[in-house]
Structure 1
Amino acid sequence: METIPSSDFFIQFWGVRGSIPTPGKDTVRYGGNTSCIEMHVGGKRLIFDGGTGLRVLGKSLLKQGPVEAHMFFTHYHWDHIQGVPFFTPAFREGNCFHIHGALPADASSMKQHFCERVLHSNSPVPLEGMHADLNFYELICGETFKLDDITIETRPLNHPNGAMGYRVTWQGHSVFYCTDTEHLPDRLDENVLHLAREAEVLIYDAMYTDEEYSNPKSPKYGWGHSTWQEGVKVAQAAGVKRLAVFHHEPNHSDDFLDNVAIQVQEACPGAFLAHEGMIVSVV
């Protein structure tokens, strides 16, 4: 595990894989847990998505005192909620979690959606077992809101059933969490460009290479994910300082991703591939 920086604004990656967990000897260096990142921002803890990486984050939080955190969901596909029933701090009295996300059209409230869909009938632990203080907040995609001195902007992303991008800004420094999204065929996505503008870090869904995305034998059009080459285009057009390639394809081994990392860094100096445990200072 990397050393926690003294910075007041940093990111820690707990799950960087897309679609399905991929444990095994070929995914040791980058990790096989699905989407979960943590931001420490001006004294607040922000958690984005609840893939299986959330379980690992939860284990680390057990070493601390009472925990308060804001949790944000981009959407509710399996790989972004699988870790929630195994997030041990939510079962401990004295902890407090503020849960934010867009409300699906067929749900009456965020709490009802969370109980019935995220903690659904297949969950091994019922909601009654969660003794932490849980507070629920419905977000309207496209709106901007504040957590004290932190500004959070949202915009819709191009993904089946929808997804929401989050731009977090504190003291003039910004991080854009941009997953899951598919680039447009004829231009850069205006929503993505807007939230990426001059960000310190862009965490981008680069699940495929261009060759995989356009492979005539197995094209990935309409699957809701992008490529690292498109991520480079966005980063350069929006004046992003560092591009983080994220949401790695389940079949991409460590060796494959090492080769991608070389190509990404050649195309976009300062860019990097996210891996589990990685900590990135923003300020």
Structure 2
Amino acid sequence: MPMTMSVHFWGVRGSISCPGPNTLRYGGNTSCVEICCGDHHLVFDAGSGLRILGNAMDREDRIADIDLFLSHCHIDHLIGLPFFVPVFEKGSRLRLWAGNLKPAGGVRQTVRKLMSYPLFPIEIEMAQGKIEYTDFEPGESLKPRPGVVVHTAPLKHPGGATGYRVEYGGRAVAYITDTELNDDVIDPGVLALAKDAALLIVDSTYTNAELPDHVGWGHASWQQTVKLANAAGAEKLCLFHHDPEHDDAEMDRIAAAADQARPGTIVAKEGLSIEI
């Protein structure tokens, strides 16, 4: 198996999908990022972008064999699961991983709650594919596939969330979304996830000017993510989980300012692929 690593963005927004003429270039689907480690497919979050991934797999007649890691189960990060075509196809295999959910009955019970009356017409038991559920405690290190190590850490978000670091073939990609970042002291767990990462994908919902009106909402500004990337020595920073109120014109302004603050900074767009 080739020791290659790549990242594909299927959904880059936070809070709620925002389709429309003003979000065409950056995309309006919520969080879903695919990280390919050789032939192993790891997906992070099941936002509405997961539907787009499933449709692409269906067109390619690709049988799903996926590890799906949830940062948390707020609706914008889970809403794509009931519309993920491979779940309903025989022969597919989906392993769901989540932290923070044991007090709520675990990830299995959370999915059943989403796909049940009166919220949804089809229950998860209707799925034809094989689904496995794994609950873990943030801070654990996981080994979902041969040669793949996924480190985890708790994040500062209402109800809790989990950040991830994927290591494969001597490279690392960090996926840290839905968290507040402290301007003065960076959380050691977050810093460890981001340390020397080839690509740091991180929540950049707001600007510094918007932060005071969103204290306690569990999100960061793009300026704070620049500080994190610099402190961690990350090679590339990727801004992610864009505010649905930020249209393409605003995202262009943020992209220009972020590139000036940290040259080479990437702003996630729906459909963007990055080779690591």
Q: What is the TM-score of this pair, normalised by structure 1?
A: 0.93
User: 2:31 is matched with which residue?
Assistant: 35
State how far apart, in whole Å, the 2-side matches of 1:96 and 1:188 are.
Answer: 38
Paired residue secondary structure (2:103): coil
User: 2:122 is matched with which residue?
Assistant: 125
Could you tell me whether the CA contact under 8 Å between 2:13 and 2:242 is conserved in 1?
yes
Cα deviation, residue 175, structure 1:
0.4
State how far apart, in whole Å, the 2-side matches of 1:55 and 1:281 are.
Answer: 23
State how far apart, in whole Å, the 1-side matches of 2:183 and 2:158 are.
Answer: 16
User: 1:24 is matched with which residue?
Assistant: 20
Bigger mean CA deviation after superposition, 64-73 or 101-110 = 101-110
**In the TM superposition, what whole-angstrom CA distance separates every residue of 1:74-109 from its partner, at most 9, and x where no partner exists?**
100011001111011100011111111125243444
Which of 219, 230, 243 is 1:225 aligned to?
Answer: 219
**Correspondence 1:248 to 2:246:** no
**Correspondence 1:110 to 2:107:** yes
Q: Which runs of 5+ in 2 are unaligned?
A: none
Could you tell me whether the CA contact under 8 Å between 1:103 and 1:113 is conserved in 2?
no
How many correspondences in the alignment? 272
Could you tell me whether the CA contact under 8 Å between 2:100 and 2:160 is conserved in 1?
no
Cα deviation, residue 110, structure 1:
3.4
The RMSD of aligned alpha carbons is 1.4
State how far apart, in whole Å, the 2-side matches of 1:18 and 1:186 are.
Answer: 25
State how far apart, in whole Å, the 2-side matches of 1:251 and 1:276 are.
Answer: 16
CA pair 160-59 structure 1, distance change in 2 beyond 3 A: same
State how far apart, in whole Å, the 2-side matches of 1:64 and 1:261 are.
Answer: 36
CA pair 232-25 structure 1, distance change in 2 beyond 3 A: same
State how far apart, in whole Å, the 2-side matches of 1:276 and 1:7 are.
Answer: 25
Could you tell me whether the CA contact under 8 Å between 1:150 and 1:169 is conserved in 2?
yes
User: 2:79 is matched with which residue?
Assistant: 82
State how far apart, in whole Å, the 1-side matches of 2:202 and 2:61 are.
Answer: 30
User: 2:95 is matched with which residue?
Assistant: 98
User: 1:3 is matched with which residue?
Assistant: none
Could you tell me whether the CA contact under 8 Å between 2:205 and 2:221 is conserved in 1?
yes
Could you tell me whether the CA contact under 8 Å between 1:150 and 1:170 is conserved in 2?
yes
Q: Kindly provide the amino acid, as one letter, of the partner of residue 38 in structure 2.
A: G
**In the TM superposition, what whole-angstrom CA distance separates every residue of 1:179-232 from its partner, at most 9, and x where no partner exists?**
010112532222211110000001010000001113xxxx11111000110000
1:177-256 maps to which residues of 2 (within 5 A)? 177-214=175-212, 219-256=213-250
Q: Which runs of 5+ in 1 are unaligned?
A: 1-5
State how far apart, in whole Å, the 2-side matches of 1:153 and 1:33 are.
Answer: 26
Paired residue secondary structure (2:210): helix
Could you tell me whether the CA contact under 8 Å between 2:100 and 2:162 is conserved in 1?
no
**In the TM superposition, what whole-angstrom CA distance separates every residue of 1:5-58 from its partner, at most 9, and x where no partner exists?**
x98210000000010000111000000000001011121000110000000011
User: 2:170 is matched with which residue?
Assistant: 172
Could you tell me whether the CA contact under 8 Å between 1:241 and 1:270 is conserved in 2?
no
State how far apart, in whole Å, the 2-side matches of 1:103 and 1:184 are.
Answer: 21
Q: What is the TM-score of this pair, normalised by structure 2?
A: 0.95
**In the TM superposition, what whole-angstrom CA distance separates every residue of 1:159-185 from its partner, at most 9, and x where no partner exists?**
000000010000110000000101125
Q: Kindly provide the amino acid, as one letter, of the partner of residue 192 in structure 1.
A: V
Runs (4+) of structure 1 exceeding 4 A deviation are none
User: 1:261 is matched with which residue?
Assistant: 255
State how far apart, in whole Å, the 1-side matches of 2:226 and 2:214 are.
Answer: 19
